Structure 1
């Protein structure tokens, strides 16, 4: 019996040690899981902050863009610096183009920072390009847009080009129904 008793004690000791080791491993895994969850929450907060910072940067850039355009619109000598059109334009036409650029850039910024979805961008553009000065500006800046290949802005420009072609081909005066607003993908 003495041997059985020693064997049982050893078995109990081994079992207790094994259970203690398993409990230690479970505690360590739980602690690691808790640490990983905390790290993941921190990463999510940092990603949200990065998105907010990017939107703030875009808004600041838009403000600076408007300030520069305003100076050029108000001062014909400064506007000459922004005259990068292939055909010479009058000072009045240049000012109109600068303002058209400000309008389009504002719409683009609204979309980029998430204030409006893509279908709303499309609908605003559809209305905006009913104005002949906006269409003149769009045509005059075609060479500049060609350099944007592969960018989000190039894709939006192509969407507007398609819309303008549809508007030109439409046999209706109801321009607000021409074209199908795209959906976000």
Structure 2
């Protein structure tokens, strides 16, 4: 049975509201789909960044290994502030590999900033590592506005605190940063 006469205003209002609600529901679905696609893209980019960092770390280690094994190649990497013996150069290259590995762990999220700090605090107990850190000061100074520069400054500060400490309990020296 068809409607006769004018359609009541309430029916028109209900129809308009229903249309608006359906439109909003469709729009909400589209927004959810876009959000899901963006999340997947971010995850892919994050995974790709980790893959790139890991590949770079592997290449870095391969080059350092060659330099550690071959004194002639090691001379190419000798950018230290003081002259070092071939033995020291190999030790410094290995210290660099250890520190770079720790830095990678932090960058890919395997350890927190606080854990990085605690590992470095132990790392700095070795006199050769301390010598390496001092010998590479100029190289770190060129790393402005990077996470590596920021972490390097944190290590510099920790090393000063360790040297000024009046305690043999090195594991309590310095205040670990809190993770944000």
TM-score (norm 1): 0.89
1:24 corresponds, among 19, 22, 39, to 19
Matched, 1:51 2:46: yes
After TM superposition, the structure 1 stretch with the greater mean CA deviation from structure 2, 100-109 or 147-156, is 147-156
Aligned match of 1:160:
155
Aligned match of 2:62:
67
Matched, 1:98 2:93: yes
What SS does the aligned partner of 2:6 have? helix
Matched, 1:76 2:71: yes
2:119 corresponds, among 100, 120, 124, to 124
What SS does the aligned partner of 2:37 have? helix
Q: Hey, what's the Cα distance between the residues in 1 that align with 2:82 and 2:166?
A: 31
Deviation at 1:19, TM superposition (A): 3.2
Aligned match of 1:133:
128
Deviation at 1:21, TM superposition (A): 3.4
- The unaligned stretches of length 5 or more in structure 1 are 1-7
Deviation at 1:163, TM superposition (A): 0.8
CA RMSD of aligned residues (A): 1.5
TM-score (norm 2): 0.92
Q: Hey, what's the Cα distance between the residues in 2 that align with 1:119 and 1:21?
A: 57
What SS does the aligned partner of 1:89 have? coil
Larger Rg: 1
Aligned match of 1:9:
5
After TM superposition, the structure 1 stretch with the greater mean CA deviation from structure 2, 81-90 or 32-41, is 81-90
Deviation at 1:17, TM superposition (A): 4.2
- The unaligned stretches of length 5 or more in structure 2 are none
Aligned match of 1:3:
none
Considering fraction of residues, name the structure with more helix.
Answer: 1
